[in-house]
Amino acid sequence: MATDLLIHWICTATSHRRTSELGLTHHEGQWAMCPELIGDGHEWFDTGGVDVSDALARWEEVVAASAPQGTAAA
């Protein structure tokens, strides 16, 4: 089996972050990962083609960088 699976897209849509377990799908004819495989509204981030573990790390970076902070009601 091929182990050189490359992820070209990761979905960073805020509404698609209900889980940190990314699922594999396709986008633009290439492998993509999104935690919310159903529905629409994906926001695809072009990774340039990285392996699964790098894609996961990249996704976590993007999510952490854009995660809302201090949203608790005053």
Are the C-beta atoms of residues 27 and 9 closer than 8 Å to each other? yes
Q: How far apart are CA 58 and CA 8, in angstroms?
A: 11
Give the CA angle between residues 5, 13, 47 to the nearest 5°.
35
Q: Does 62 bind Zn ion (CB under 5 A)?
A: no
List the one residue from 42, 45, 58, 59 that touches Zn ion (CB under 5 A): 42
Contact string (CB under 5 A) for Zn ion, positions 4-33, x = contact: -------x-x--x-----------------
Closest separation between CB of residue 4 and Zn ion, Å? Answer: 24
CA 31 vs CA 10, 12, 62: distances in Å: 9, 15, 18
Q: Which is nearer to Zn ion, 4 or 11 (CB)?
A: 11
Binding residues for Zn ion, rule: CB under 5 A, are 11, 13, 16, 34, 36, 42
